[in-house]
Each structure stands twice: as structure tokens, then as C-alpha cells.
Amino acid sequence: MPPSADLSALRDAIEALDTRLLDLLRERMALVERVATAKLDAAWPFRDASREERLLLHLRELAAERGLDPHEIERLYRVVLDMSVARQEAHVRALDHVPLRVTYQGTEGSYSHLAAQRRYGGRPGGVLLSGHESFRGAAEAVVGGTADLALLPIENTTAGSINETYDLLSEGGLVITGEVVEAIEHCLLGLPGASLERLRRVHSHPQALRQCEGFLRDHPGLEAVIEFDTAGAARKVRDAGDPSQAAIASASAAPTYGLAVLARGIQSEAGNATRFVEVAPTPLPVPAGAPAKTSLLLALADRPGALGEVLGEFARRGLNLTKLESRPMPGSPFRYRFYLDVQGHASSEPFRAALAALAPLVAELRLLGTYPAAQAG
């Protein structure tokens, strides 16, 4: 057979394969759109970094089995994954209804992520979830308009107040539109086959480490290592591949990152729970009949007994104070702002009378939001 004829046939065969590859890629994009719809319904993040890494590892293994260059296959599929995410985003933009964009601090499997899934999963119109490394990053996404609201932890029954959330509220641009209280069970996660006796380092978020101080005291050989997120700590343990390292995180993070649960319920308090606040740029109406809570920020006038008088104005009107927190005022040494949570709606007659009576007692007064009070579970 003449070489030219053989080359022509080979090129035709390659072109036919390329056409099949494009058809398969089209099928993949159609499935990707269905995945986008499922993620909206389940309140699941669009970009699942840990799953992508597991997929790429699997594809590298398959490529090597087939005599293909694993590195080149990874490079190719990173482009395919970027195409898939872009297709999902385009699909969402084309929907008749607009999904709610919710942000939080942490990654897949973090407590904030799990709380957001439970709160917004199944919402008509769907939900787009996105995680940030910091509380500030989540809050700034809302202020900047790339998210509709953020779900941020504000206090824990064991470790106390989460000051960064209070400080972000003081900067303005956000109001509280809701709250949710979630039971928190901390687990010790390690590589499959690892044992507690051989562990040397345990990674987690500072709040989780504080909530497990009793466990850490009982195991003085464990060095606590601070990470930005509980689920991120689990991912770091997986990536390190060192059986002497572990993470404190949720049980849900174990299958996500291929880890084993070495111990459950290691928090210091059996009733450990975290209160999350939903923050948005503008307030929302409180449903009729729903028990309401109102949060305030104030700075006292420079006079003796001002704080006692403020609290007295609420007490005289039968308004129950459920939280009082102080935080330093930036640029004003040894001066403080106070955050108050009060049962009741800010538009009620007793509440309005209390706010009017506060005027001579405060140098600053800001309403942080009236919202449905969470029901203790």
C-alpha cells in the first residue's frame, strides 16, 4: 500500500476518534448541568477541590495503566474540569429562578458547611454554597455583592464568644437576619490504620482545639497545631500521609478526605453547641408569630453607672437580655463597645421606648438586626 494512502486512512481514523471524543465531551457537559441542578437542591459547593484531587489521582493511575503520560492526562483534565465548572455556572445563570448565594468560613465537611447545608438544603430555587478561608473573606463576599448572605459562628457553649464575628459586625454593611444553633460533636480523624497511642500532632481550628481542651490535657503527648479550618485540617492530614498526625473535625469530614474516625465525642462538654448568625446587607421581615430576637451595638456615654442604667431600661420594660459582650474600640484604648441580644422585636412598643430612653446613656447605638430566634434543639 502506498505510504500516502496509508497516511490518509490513519488521519481519517484519528478524525473519527476526535469526533467521538467531542461527542463524549458533549455528553459530559450535559451530565455536568444535571450535577449543577443537584448541587443547587442539596446546597453543595460548586467547586469541590478534594473530589477533584481524588479524581485526578484516579485518572493518573488509569493513564499509567494504559501507557499514557499521567502528567499530561492531569493537565488535560484540569482543563476539562475548568470547562465543567464554567458550564455549571452558565447553566445557573440561564435559570428562570435565581439560586441563593451563601458563603461561610471553611471547606467541604467543616461545621459551617454542614450547618449551611442543613439550613438551606432543599430551598426552592436552589442554593450556591462557597467557602472562604477566613470569616472576613466570607463577610466581604456579602458586602461586595458576590454572595447574598453568610453564615458565621458567633458563640459556642464551651469556648465562648467568637470575637472576629462581633468585630466584623461592628464595621457596618451587615445586619443579622437569622440564627441557628447546631450541636457540635468533635471527632479525632487519622489515616486508616493509625492509632491514638502513636499520634504526635493534632491539627484543627483554634475554636475546636479550645472545645477539646480536656481531651488534649488527657493526652499530653499530643501537640496541638492551629489550622484555618477543621475540614482543612483533615485534608492536611490526608495529604501528609503521616500516621502520627491527626485532625479534630466532624465525622462527615472522614469519608470526604479518606480518613478513619479514631475517637468520637472528644469535646469537653457533652452538650457542646455553636450558635451561627446569618448576615446580609439588608434586614428581612420576621414572620408573623415567630419569636423574635434583636441584636444591638452600643458605646456608653462617659458617665458613672451608664451600663447599669442601660440594662435597667430593658428590665423595666420586661425585655429579657440573653447576651452581653464587650469588645475593644479600635483607636480608643480601654474603651469598649457592647453587643446585646434581647428577646423581642425592635418595632414593639416596649422596645422602642427602651431605645428612646437609651439616648442620653450612649455615645453610639446601632441596630444589628431583628430576626427569628432559634429554637433550642
pLDDT of residue 174: 95
Q: Is the pLDDT of residue 1 over 50?
A: no
Of 116, 102, 105, 111, nearest to 273 by C-alpha is 111
Q: Is the pLDDT of residue 288 over 90?
A: no
DSSP 345: -
Reply yes or no on whether 103 is catalytic.
no
Residues 4-40: tens digit of each pLDDT: 668 888 899 999 999 999 999 999 999 998 988 888 8
Q: How confident is the model at residue 3 (pLDDT cuts 50, 70, 90)?
A: low
Q: 286 with 292: CB under 8 angstroms?
A: yes
Distance (Å, rounded) from C-alpha 156 to C-alpha 165?
Answer: 12
pLDDT of residue 5: 61
Mean of pLDDT over the chain = 91
Q: Is the pLDDT of residue 85 over 60?
A: yes
pTM: predicted TM-score of the whole model, two decimal places:
0.77
Domains of the chain, earliest start first:
3-93 (1.20.59.10), 100-183 (3.40.190.10), 187-264 (3.40.190.10), 286-372 (3.30.70.260)
| Cell numbers placing 354 | 427602651
Residues 134-161: tens digit of each pLDDT: 999 999 999 999 999 999 999 999 889 9
Instruction: Spot the catalytic one: 274, 314, 338, 351.
Output: 274
Over residues 223-242, the mean pLDDT reads: 95
Any idea which residue has 503527648 for its cell?
A: 221
* Secondary structure (3-state) at 15: helix
132's CB contacts (< 8 A; 6+ apart) are 103, 104, 105, 106, 138, 141
Beta strands in the chain (DSSP E): 100-105, 127-132, 149-156, 160-161, 175-183, 187-190, 201-204, 223-226, 245-249, 260-264, 273-280, 292-300, 321-329, 332-343, 362-372
Instruction: Spot the catalytic one: 215, 276, 314, 338.
Output: 276
Q: Is the pLDDT of residue 184 over 70?
A: yes
Residues 33-63: tens digit of each pLDDT: 898 888 888 877 767 777 888 899 999 999 9
Over residues 194-216, the mean pLDDT reads: 95
Secondary structure, 3-state, 17-44:
HHHHHHHHHHHHHHHHHHHHHHHHHHCC
pLDDT of residue 40: 80
Burial class of residue 198, CB neighbours in 10 A (0-12, 13-18, 19+): exposed
- Cα Rg of the chain, angstroms: 26
* Amino acid identity for residue 243 in this structure: P
Residues 99-123: tens digit of each pLDDT: 889 999 998 889 999 999 999 988 8
Q: Is the pLDDT of residue 332 over 90?
A: no
293's CB contacts (< 8 A; 6+ apart) are 179, 322, 341, 342, 343, 344, 370, 371, 372, 373
Reply yes or no on whether 322 is catalytic.
no
Q: 300 with 358: CB under 8 angstroms?
A: no
